[in-house]
């Protein structure tokens, strides 16, 4: 294990985590409660653009200096407050930065394929795609919406690296299998989404079983999982996460089985775990079945 790479990935993860926080905040200014673009002036569009806007304090809107933008360190040194207006800066910021850094390092340590030669292509594509995935997870958690434009960015980034990987290996079966996994995952969730609409029309329920954003998200996740056989593993892990995290709320009756919850973060967590450990889990479960027969 190359310690220099681990340190580099940790620092890179902190930087990208800071970028995730900025992207989520700016999206919140650009989109309304339904996820549709707000009517903004040209100046506001410039101000809240992730590519053109300058970093600012969310409270006083003052432009931040480079010393205020050092991931994790700036938050700790300022004790979670803005240097200028002293407004409180939430713990979300350092936690997301740290989580991204840990995820970058964990992905390298537990990457299931060889990282020799062309193996780095898919790994790099994966960690870069983690950025829009973290944005989607955080935005869904805060606003119960999975923005389409972030989904598209994720699909384009990973598809490019996946295709480059297939070209480097001269094996397009890898690309085709990954696309098939995405389609299968998408089809399963589309069926559930349509069944939910039918059930509501017939009066069996008055709640959506899932949002259309989840249906779109799982195509990207299936593409990243890469194998149709592992899609079910990802779906199972996501469901278990969703159930266990919300179980205390169900027990205390603060939530019901019909409560709207952000399922995107669980789907993303399930997919990441499946990408790193899914084949191990599948082999373990298959061995149990074989030995029980």
Closest CA to 74 of 145, 162, 121, 15: 15
Please state whether the predicted TM-score (pTM) of the whole model is above 0.85. yes
pLDDT at 66 over 90: no
Cα separation, 124 vs 109, in Å, equals 13
pLDDT, one tens digit per residue, over 141-165 is: 999 999 999 999 999 999 999 999 9
pLDDT at 258 over 60: no
Q: What is the C-alpha end-to-end distance of the chain, expressed in Å? A: 40
Under the banding of pLDDT at 50, 70 and 90, the label for residue 199 is confident
Under the banding of pLDDT at 50, 70 and 90, the label for residue 52 is confident
Question: How confident is the model at residue 269, as a pLDDT?
Answer: 96
Under the banding of pLDDT at 50, 70 and 90, the label for residue 226 is very high
* DSSP H/E element including 125: helix 119-143
pLDDT at 250 over 70: no
Least confident range from 107-116, 127-136, 280-289: namely 280-289
Cα separation, 35 vs 28, in Å, equals 9
């Amino acid at each position: 294990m190359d310690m220099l790479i681990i340190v580099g990935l940790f620092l890179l993860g902190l930087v990208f985590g800071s970028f995730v926080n900025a992207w989520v905040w700016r999206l919140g200014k650009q989109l309304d409660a339904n996820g549709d673009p707000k009517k903004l002036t040209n100046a506001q569009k410039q101000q809240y653009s992730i590519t053109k806007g300058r970093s600012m304090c969310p409270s006083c809107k003052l432009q931040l200096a480079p010393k205020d933008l050092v991931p994790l360190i700036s938050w700790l040194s300022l004790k979670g407050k803005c240097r200028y207006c002293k407004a409180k800066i939430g713990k979300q910021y350092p936690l997301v930065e740290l989580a991204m850094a840990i995820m970058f390092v964990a992905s390298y340590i537990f990457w299931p394929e060889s990282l020799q030669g062309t193996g780095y292509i898919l790994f790099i594509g994966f960690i870069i795609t983690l950025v829009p995935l973290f944005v989607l997870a955080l935005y869904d958690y805060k606003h119960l919406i999975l923005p389409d434009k972030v989904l598209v960015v994720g699909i384009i980034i990973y598809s490019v690296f996946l295709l480059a990987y297939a070209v480097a290996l001269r094996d397009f079966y890898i690309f085709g299998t990954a696309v098939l996994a995405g389609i299968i995952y998408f089809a399963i969730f589309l069926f559930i989404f349509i069944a939910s609409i039918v059930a509501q029309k017939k009066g069996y329920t008055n709640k959506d079983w899932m949002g259309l954003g989840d249906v779109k998200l799982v195509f990207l996740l299936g593409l990243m999982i890469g194998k149709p056989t592992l899609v079910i593993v990802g779906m199972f892990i996501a469901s278990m996460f969703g159930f266990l995290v919300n179980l205390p709320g169900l027990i205390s009756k603060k939530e019901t089985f019909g409560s709207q919850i952000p399922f995107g973060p669980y789907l993303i967590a399930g997919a990441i775990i499946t990408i790193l450990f899914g084949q191990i889990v599948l082999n373990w479960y298959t061995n149990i079945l074989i030995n029980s027969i």
